[in-house]
Structure 1
Amino acid sequence: MKLSLKYYTLKYVVVALLLIIALWAALFYAFILDEVYDNVDDGLKNRKIQLIKAVYKDKELLNNVDFEFNEFKIVPISEEECNNRNKFYNRTYYMEYDDDDEPYRVLETCFTDQFGGHRKLVIRTSTVEEDDLIYDLSIALIVLYFFLVLSILFVNGFLLNKAWKPFYAILEKLRNYQFGEKRDDRKQAYSIREFGQLDEEIDEMIRRNEQIFNQQKKFIENASHELQTPLAIMINKIDLSVQDGKVEDHHMHLLMDLKANLSRMSGLNKSLLMLSRIDNNQFSTTEIVDFNVLIKEMIADYRDFTDHKRIGIETVEHGNFSASFNSDLAHILISNLLKNAIKYNIPDGIIKVIIENDRIVMMNTGQKYPLEENQIFSRFYKQASDHNSTGLGLSIVHSIIRQYPVFSIQYRFEEEMHQLIISKK
């Protein structure tokens, strides 16, 4: 599944943040423990000095050989065992109240008493339980991580949306842009330099493409106009030669093939000229067109073709489809749809036209597999191996629909019927 840029980066930020917090937690835990033990050790060293002073004042303290009510004990040792260095270590002792072993920090050292004897002094003090510290720290870090992620979501959802708003505006402009259509050329002011540069480069790219596109349209239109006259002259001369009756039979077939190819070229030329005129918006005038009446008239005009191919036509009216449309384009639209349904139908086939208030469905039998939806409206795309087809019929239909943004056209293949659906958005 594709994500937007802000959520794509957020995915990696969340993972990276989790790793960073885990590493930071380990270092923070080690630092806290070291600081706790450092403070506890300082307290044990201070207490050592105080206890030695107290022993010199009260010799009874020398009899404290076990941890009882006091948190220290004094044990007689030999001179060889005596070491004046302080020894710190952790150890657990059983506590009756908790009925469990609790952690203690222990200082072990030795001193010489007022009688010249050597004594080992062991002082203990309770410390934090590491498992409890880890648990509390983990809970705190989970809460911290949760709020950090929420904060990042808040920043992305509200603050970054404002920063990326120009980008989405540029993206929307590109999404709605189509060649040959009027667009808003007003310069937009961007507070972010990169977005302003991006918009300028896109406008320049569109300008160059529009220039090339217009040159191509003019070339097609001019070429079509120039070709139409010689094509018509050649077809007429062929007709005159055939009608003259002086052409031999073996030359007759060649002339008829030549005429068929010239007629096809003429039809292609007319179709390209029609596309050029549509793209140049030369059908701008509109009026209210009743497509119900128009479809019935066009079906009557094509009755000879359907009868010749033994194709049945059924019209089903569930509503009235009328719209503000150029009447010439409306005739071309319906004519191309009907010609397409007849040409690519089968003998004894069916054409069914369903008219509703907001859509027209033109369905017909034909080949038993669906067409390519992303290619069917492309220029020179042929639905079958029909060499007489120009491949421009449905392209003209699509170009006409594009002139009216409130309409859309789509292709479906259901129950072995090819369907072309014109809908009001």
Structure 2
Amino acid sequence: MKSLLQKSLSRFTICTVIILLLATPLFYLLTKYFYAEDLREIVEAAQSGVPLPKTDLEQDMIVGIALQFVLIMSVLLASLILMLKLISKRLWAPFDETLRQLEHFSLEKEIPPLFTVSDIKEFNRLNSVLTQLIKNNLRSYKIQKEFTENASHELQTPLAVFQSKLDLLLQQPNMTQQQAEIVLSLYEVSARLTRLNKNLLLLAKIDNKQYTQMELIDIVQIIERTLPLLSEFTQEIKIRKEIQVTSFTIRANKALLESLINNLFINAVRHNVVKGEITIIITPNQLIISNTSSEEQLDKELVFERFHRSSEKINGNGLGLAIVKAICNFHGWGIDYQYNAGNHEFIINF
């Protein structure tokens, strides 16, 4: 097994030798008509017994050397171009294949890429290091997922007990106003912890691909059925619909699709303004939910990250859009965020 440098030098040398061999007739013609032309005329005149012709050996020598230099440089240039365009492409093919494997790799799929074995030791070394790095990351990711799922399961019972104890406290006689306020604040904390635990458990189930039941669902129908229920939370926010198709059927898990719509809608309500607007657009291959907002453009790199919150003024645990992203990944859909004229748009590409 050779190094990349050794392979490149050996192939460049082979190219140069081949082109020099092909250029041998040119060197022969150059020698015949420049270097040896005057000498040949002198020899022929001496053999014929005629006066020697006038010659300019110095000029012919200079012209011949110049032409020889140009010819040699042309051969080297041709070898270099051939090396860079054709041979180098073949030499770097294993590296391009490694990049292609990495571009299609995803931690969520938990399938490590299979790198092609090369006869170049640097590429094999790179593939070996990448394989070990990916295995370590997959192991850490799996441990993290298992911890999240186990923790969420274990927290369900203590949270239920905590809330039941709060119910018993509220039923106690002679409770003062201050005590009631403390219990109510604990209720809010308990409700927030319950929502957080529920969302974490949902993410763990999505990551573990536990939602196996798939069916054909009409997006238009599910939007029309869900909106009246969600509109109760909008208060003075106006809902506008732009449905460009009468029917749009996709294959999906119904519970996850409803969760996706709910999270996008609740996000649009939370980050809206008083008397703002929510627009729902359905095209032949997209679902777009946009909302007016006083907030600036969000960071595309962070908007779908878990526990990321664009504003500390908004209540929430920062998992809503992360759940939306996980559901899209589970179904193989694309999701994008755009900011247009003060509107935050979340686009689902089916």
- Quote the residue 1:53 is aligned against: none
Residue type of the alignment partner of 1:181: K
Q: Distance in 1 between matches of 2:185 and 2:129?
A: 52
Q: Distance in 2 between matches of 1:156 and 1:219?
A: 51
Matched positions, count: 310
Residue type of the alignment partner of 1:408: G
- Quote the residue 1:400 is aligned against: 327
- Quote the residue 1:271 is aligned against: 199
What is the CA RMSD across the aligned residues, in angstroms? 3.4
User: Equivalent pairs: percent with the same residue?
Assistant: 29
- Quote the residue 2:32 is aligned against: none
What are the Cα deviations for residues 305-356 of structure 1, in whole angstroms up to 9, with x where unaligned? 11x2x01111111124322111111111111111111111111010001101
Give the unaligned 5+ runs of structure 2: 13-34, 43-51
Give the unaligned 5+ runs of structure 1: 14-35, 44-69, 72-123
Q: Distance in 1 between matches of 2:265 and 2:128?
A: 45
Which is strand-richer, 1 or 2?
1
Residue type of the alignment partner of 1:411: Y
* Superposition deviation, residue 415 in structure 1: 1.3
Q: Distance in 2 between matches of 1:148 and 1:266?
A: 73
What are the Cα deviations for residues 190-240 of structure 1, in whole angstroms up to 9, with x where unaligned? 333443343233223222221221111111111111112211221232233
- Quote the residue 2:222 is aligned against: 294
* Superposition deviation, residue 171 in structure 1: 1.5
* Superposition deviation, residue 177 in structure 1: 1.2
Q: Distance in 1 between matches of 2:206 and 2:221?
A: 24
* Superposition deviation, residue 246 in structure 1: 3.0
Compare 194-203 and 209-218 and name the one that shifted more.
194-203
Match of 1:410 among 311, 333, 336: 336
* Superposition deviation, residue 153 in structure 1: 3.3
Question: Tell me, what secondary structure is at the counterpart of 2:163?
Answer: helix
Question: Tell me, what secondary structure is at the counterpart of 1:369?
Answer: coil
Which is helix-richer, 1 or 2?
2
Q: Distance in 1 between matches of 2:265 and 2:81?
A: 55
Matches within 5 A, 1:247-396: 247-306=175-234, 308=235, 310-319=236-245, 320-386=247-313, 388-396=315-323
Question: In 1, are the aligned partners of 2:112 and 2:134 still within 8 Å (CA)?
Answer: no
* Superposition deviation, residue 291 in structure 1: 1.2
* Superposition deviation, residue 188 in structure 1: 4.3
Question: Tell me, what secondary structure is at the counterpart of 1:403?
Answer: helix
Question: In 1, are the aligned partners of 2:95 and 2:123 still within 8 Å (CA)?
Answer: yes
Matches within 5 A, 1:32-71: none
Going from structure 1 to structure 2, the CA distance change for 1:284 and 1:161 (only over 3 Å counts) comes to farther
* Superposition deviation, residue 296 in structure 1: 1.8
Compare 364-373 and 348-357 and name the one that shifted more.
364-373
Residue type of the alignment partner of 1:267: R
What are the Cα deviations for residues 34-73 of structure 1, in whole angstroms up to 9, with x where unaligned? xx9xx99xx9xxxxxxxxxxxxxxxxxxxxxxxxxx99xx
User: TM-score, normalization: structure 2?
Assistant: 0.77
- Indicate the structure (1 or 2) with the bigger Cα radius of gyration: 1
